[in-house]
Amino acid sequence: MNEPLLNAQESGTTSTDNKFRDKQITTSKPNIHGTKGVYVAGDWVDLEDCDRLFNIKNGSCKQSLSKACDACPRSQSRHAAETKDGVYDVLIIGAGCIGSSIARELSRYKLSVLVVEAADDVSQGATKGNSGIVHAGYDDTPHTVRAKYCWPGNQMFAKLDSELHFGYQRNGSLVVANTPADMKHLDALYERGQINNVKNLKILNQEELREKEPHINPQAIGALYSPDAGNLIPYEYAVALAENAADNGVVCIYSINIP
Ligand SMILES: Cc1cc2nc3c(=O)[nH]c(=O)nc-3n(C[C@H](O)[C@H](O)[C@H](O)COP(=O)(O)OP(=O)(O)OC[C@H]3O[C@@H](n4cnc5c(N)ncnc54)[C@H](O)[C@@H]3O)c2cc1C
Kindly tell me if the per-residue pLDDT of 60 is higher than 70: no
Mean pLDDT (whole number) for 221-229: 98
Of 166, 139, 164, 141, the residue nearest 229 (C-alpha): 139
Tens-place pLDDT, residues 61-72 = 444 444 444 444
96 ligand 1 Cβ < 6 A:
yes
Separation of 97 CA from ligand 1 center, angstroms?
7
pLDDT of residue 182: 98
Provide the domain count of the chain: 1
Residue 55: per-residue pLDDT: 61
- Cα–Cα distance, 184 to 143 (Å, whole number): 22
Q: Is the predicted pLDDT of residue 214 greater than 60, yes or no? A: yes
Mutating to test ligand 1, I would choose from 6, 131, 257 the residue with most ligand atoms within 8 A of its C-beta, which is 131
Mutate to test the pocket of ligand 1, among 102, 124, 130 (most ligand atoms within 8 A of CB): 130
Tell me phi and psi for residue 177, to 5 degrees.
Answer: -110, 135
Average model confidence (pLDDT) for the chain? 83
Least confident range from 25-34, 71-80, 169-178: namely: 71-80
Residue 209 lies in a domain: yes
- The reply to whether ligand 1 has any atom less than 6 angstroms from the CB of 60 is no
- Residue 245 sits in a domain whose CATH number is 3.50.50
Confidence of residue 1 (pLDDT cuts 50, 70, 90): very low
149 lines ligand 1 (CB under 6 A): no
CA 34, 169, 7, 31 dihedral sign is negative
Q: Ligand 1, atom 20: nearest CA belongs to which residue? A: 127
Q: pLDDT digit string (tens) for 107-144?
A: 988 889 999 999 999 999 999 999 999 999 999 999 99
The answer to the question of residue 86 being in a domain is yes
Minimum CA distance residue for ligand 1 atom 21: 127
Residue 41 has pLDDT above 50, yes or no: yes
Q: How far is the CA of 132 from the centre of ligand 1 (A)?
A: 12
Give domain status of residue 1, yes or no: no
pLDDT band at 57 (very low <50, low <70, confident <90, very high): low
Residues that are catalytic: 135
Is the residue at 258 inside a domain? no
Residue 152 located in a structural domain: yes
Poorest-confidence range of 7-16, 28-37, 149-158? Answer: 7-16
Cβ(50) to ligand 1 under 6 A? no
CB 177, CB 222: distance < 8 Å: yes
The answer to the question of residue 15 being in a domain is yes
DSSP string, 2-50: ----EEHHHH----TT-TTTTSPP-SPPPPBTTBSEEEETBEEEEHHHH
Q: Is residue 63 in some structural domain?
A: yes
Residue 23 has pLDDT above 80, yes or no: no
Q: Is residue 259 part of a domain?
A: no
Q: Does 117 sit in the ligand 1 pocket, CB within 6 Å?
A: yes
* Ligand 1 close to Cβ of residue 98 (< 6 A): yes
Give residue 84's domain range: 6-253
In this prediction, what percent of the chain has a pLDDT beyond 90? Answer: 62
Asked whether the predicted pLDDT for residue 177 surpasses 90, the reply is yes
Asked if the model's pLDDT at residue 3 lies above 80, the reply is no
**Residue percentage of the chain with pLDDT more than 70:** 78
Judged against a pLDDT cut of 90, whether residue 85 lies above it is answered with no
